[in-house]
């Protein structure tokens, strides 16, 4: 048949069919992976598989089920080579199917700039809708853009976020790359591939019952900027103040978006802005209403002190042009690429055909696919040797990933049940020494009475969230607004710590911030 090429190019392979039961067994999978690696090398990053055809080029044909199973096996084997399926062609042959599958090697990232922004604010103030509208560039007349953030079924039913969600906005030639369907993995991958600047959003839940998750989003994801969302019709609420406190506790520059300005009149909008201005002044920040590029030019290099305030409407798209320009103008922070690779694990997945996959934000260094790494610590403080055969960022395969990238990493050499949130993945060069005890300088932000020896708050440090016992060093007790030195002892497991790490601790209505000054053991 004409669709079956002659095997003139050495990067073309004929396969009659592949089955998960047979070809994903370790020995068979390794054989296929070695074969694909050779094809990718001689094809300069491209391998072509013709399926439904035997080794002699005679057509056999596949059923729909056999076609999909063969394709799935090739996807799994491609992930072993840090490659991905780039093109699928399907042809009919007397009622059966033939196919041409093109596999491409992942290449190094070409981003000129990458920024991570935490979206925070009170429940139902429009955080997810704001991000969904930025991604599509379309008016949200049906109020459904919030569904574009990989929302969970129970969140859809209750109309509120309960976990962290991730989204991206890419810019090319100073213009946003909008998505027709943000739920389409191929479209997200295209944005990653084509962008010369990319914004990764970490969307935190706004309900008070999920404050611990919101803290994880701000503290655990190596955030560059905070975006505080306030609904014009509701104004400043308790969780608005709580989330602003979290952003400022970790020294993040903040942008405020006043949402839903289409729903109410000018006077109520101005009242909400006045509330926000008073709150910002109370915490030592200067509010500045940004209406056009001239205003933006005033504030963009002073974000450590000035907080831009932007009016927005997802229904009319008011404010989205200047918001896009603000995001585009945000300077990228200095990256620690010269340090050994380190990331804290946030989420763990068990992916069929791939195995254990972890996700998180790279804290420092650069990760290359195929690297030999250390994972841990376990409950005894030991680190385990693992390998990272592939890296993905928003469904786009990367050969390497830099500091600040939010990535998923496939791991080989460890069981899914043995990986926990708060563990680290790192280069052996880091030589981590996990510890259960450390000293810190702390500031008590709120407490109903006073803190004494034996108090047990939860420590939030990167993705670590664990109870710790308190021993005061220089005072008998600490009250709201007071500084002091405290010795902390994790209650259950050791963790990787560094002097200078900032953390948040809380329990009930108590909240404080601290900086590690000495690691004990």
Task: State pLDDT tens for residues 31-44.
Answer: 998 899 888 878 87
Q: Write down the mean pLDDT value for the chain.
A: 85
The answer to whether residue 484 scores a pLDDT higher than 80 is yes
Residues 125 and 273 in one domain: yes
Residues 367 and 459 in one domain: no
For helices 26-42 and 64-80, angle between their N-to-C axes, nearest 10 degrees: 70
Residues 265 and 173 in one domain: yes
Global confidence as pTM: 0.70
52: left (phi over 0), alpha (psi -120 to 50) or beta: left
- The secondary structure of residue 182, as a DSSP letter, is T
Task: State pLDDT tens for residues 265-291.
Answer: 999 999 999 999 999 998 899 999 999
Residues 313 and 197 in one domain: yes
**What whole-number percentage of the chain has pLDDT above 90?**
46
Residues 371 and 490 in one domain: no
Q: What is the CATH number of the domain that holds 25?
A: 3.30.110
**What whole-number percentage of the chain has pLDDT above 70?**
88
Q: What is the mean pLDDT of residues 501-511?
A: 82
Residues 160 and 206 in one domain: yes
Residues 176 and 292 in one domain: yes
Among residues 105, 122, 143, the one where a domain terminates is: 105
Task: Please report whether residue 50 resides in a domain.
Answer: yes
Task: Please report whether residue 305 resides in a domain.
Answer: yes
Task: Please report whether residue 393 resides in a domain.
Answer: yes
Task: Please report whether residue 290 resides in a domain.
Answer: yes
- What is residue 162's predicted lDDT score, i.e. its pLDDT? 45
- The secondary structure of residue 16, as a DSSP letter, is S
Q: Are 473 and 517 in contact (CB under 8 A)?
A: no
* Residue 155 tokens, joined: 């969140």
> Which DSSP string do the residues of 440-468 spell out, in sequence order?
EEEEEEE-SS-B-TT---EEEETTEEEEE
- What is residue 109's predicted lDDT score, i.e. its pLDDT? 58
- What is residue 2's predicted lDDT score, i.e. its pLDDT? 46
CB-based contacts of 163, cutoff 8 Å, min separation 6: 152, 155, 205, 210, 213
Task: State pLDDT tens for residues 52-108.
Answer: 988 777 888 899 899 999 999 998 888 888 788 888 888 887 778 899 999 987 755
Nearest to 412 by CA among 351, 360, 363, 462: 351
Task: Please report whether residue 7 resides in a domain.
Answer: no
Residues 322 and 449 in one domain: no
- What is residue 191's predicted lDDT score, i.e. its pLDDT? 84
270: left (phi over 0), alpha (psi -120 to 50) or beta: alpha
Residues 424 and 441 in one domain: no
Q: What is the mean pLDDT of residues 149-170?
A: 57
Instruction: Provide the number of structural domains found in the chain.
Output: 4
Task: Please report whether residue 334 resides in a domain.
Answer: no
Among residues 430, 465, 483, the one where a domain terminates is: 430
Task: State pLDDT tens for residues 436-454.
Answer: 999 999 998 888 889 999 9
Greater confidence (183 vs 209) lies with 183
Residues 352 and 419 in one domain: yes
Among residues 301, 329, 357, the one where a domain terminates is: 329
Give the integer Cα–Cα distance in Å for 98 and 157: 42
Strands (E), 247-345: 254-259, 286-289, 306-311, 342-344
Tell me whether residue 446 is exposed, middle or buried, using C-beta atoms within 10 angstroms of its C-beta: 0 to 12, 13 to 18, 19 or more. Answer: middle
Residues 219 and 304 in one domain: yes
Give the integer Cα–Cα distance in Å for 289 and 54: 67
Give Dmax over CA atoms of the chain in angstroms: 86
- What is residue 152's predicted lDDT score, i.e. its pLDDT? 43
The answer to whether residue 459 scores a pLDDT higher than 80 is yes
Q: What is the CATH number of the domain that holds 473?
A: 2.40.30.10
Task: Please report whether residue 336 resides in a domain.
Answer: no
- What is residue 343's predicted lDDT score, i.e. its pLDDT? 94
Task: State pLDDT tens for residues 113-153.
Answer: 788 898 888 888 988 889 989 988 988 876 565 555 544 44
Greater confidence (473 vs 10) lies with 473
Residues 100 and 24 in one domain: yes
Task: Please report whether residue 5 resides in a domain.
Answer: no
CB-based contacts of 27, cutoff 8 Å, min separation 6: none
Full domain range(s) for residue 452:
437-519
Q: What is the CATH number of the domain that holds 218?
A: 3.40.50.300
* Residue 188 tokens, joined: 């997200």
Q: What is the mean pLDDT of residues 340-356?
A: 90
């Amino acid at each position: 048949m004409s669709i079956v090429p002659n095997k003139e190019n050495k990067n073309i392979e004929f396969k009659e069919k592949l089955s998960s039961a047979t070809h994903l067994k370790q020995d068979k999978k390794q054989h296929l992976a070695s074969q694909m690696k050779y094809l990718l090398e001689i094809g300069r990053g491209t391998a072509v598989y013709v399926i439904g055809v035997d080794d002699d080029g005679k057509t056999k044909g596949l059923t729909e089920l056999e076609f999909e199973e063969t394709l799935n096996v090739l996807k799994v084997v491609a992930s072993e080579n840090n490659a991905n399926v780039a093109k699928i062609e399907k042809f009919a042959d007397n009622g059966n199917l033939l196919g041409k599958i093109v596999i491409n090697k992942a290449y190094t990232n070409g981003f000129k700039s990458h920024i991570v922004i935490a979206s925070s604010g009170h429940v139902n103030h429009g955080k997810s809708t704001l991000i969904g509208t930025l991604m599509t560039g379309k008016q949200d007349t049906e109020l459904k853009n919030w569904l574009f953030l990989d929302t969970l079924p129970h969140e859809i039913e209750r109309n509120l976020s309960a976990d962290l969600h991730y989204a991206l906005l890419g810019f090319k030639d100073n213009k946003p790359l909008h998505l027709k369907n943000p739920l389409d993995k191929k479209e997200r991958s295209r944005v990653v591939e084509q962008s010369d600047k990319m914004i990764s959003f970490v969307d935190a839940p706004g309900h008070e019952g999920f404050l611990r998750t919101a803290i994880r989003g701000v503290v655990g994801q190596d955030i560059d900027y905070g975006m505080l969302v306030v609904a014009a019709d509701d104004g400043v609420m308790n969780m608005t103040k709580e989330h602003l406190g979290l952003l400022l506790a970790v020294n993040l520059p903040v942008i405020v978006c006043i949402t839903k300005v289409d729903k109410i009149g000018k006077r109520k909008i101005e009242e909400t802005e006045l509330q926000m201005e008073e709150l910002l002044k109370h915490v030592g920040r200067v509010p500045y209403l940004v209406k056009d590029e001239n205003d933006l030019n005033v504030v963009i290099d002073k974000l450590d002190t000035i907080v831009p305030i932007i009016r927005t409407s997802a229904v009319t798209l008011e404010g989205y042009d200047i918001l896009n320009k603000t995001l585009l103008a945000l300077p990228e922070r200095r990256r620690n690429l010269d340090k050994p690779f380190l990331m804290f694990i946030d989420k763990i997945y068990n992916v069929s055909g791939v195995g254990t996959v972890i996700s998180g934000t790279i804290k420092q260094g650069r990760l290359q696919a195929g690297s030999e790494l250390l994972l841990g610590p376990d409950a005894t403080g030991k680190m385990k040797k693992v390998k990272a055969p592939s890296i993905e960022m928003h469904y786009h395969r990367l050969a390497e990933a830099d500091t600040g990238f939010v990535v998923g990493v496939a791991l080989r050499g460890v069981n899914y049940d043995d990986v926990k949130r708060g563990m680290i993945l790192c280069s052996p060069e880091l030589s981590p020494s996990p510890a259960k005890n450390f000293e810190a300088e702390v500031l008590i932000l709120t407490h109903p009475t006073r803190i004494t020896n034996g108090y047990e708050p939860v420590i939030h440090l990167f993705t670590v969230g664990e109870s710790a016992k308190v021993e005061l060093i220089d005072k008998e007790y600490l009250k709201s607004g007071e500084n002091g030195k405290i010795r902390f002892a994790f209650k259950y497991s050791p963790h990787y710590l560094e002097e200078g790490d900032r953390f948040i601790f809380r329990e009930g209505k108590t909240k404080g911030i601290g900086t590690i000054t000495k690691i004990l053991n």
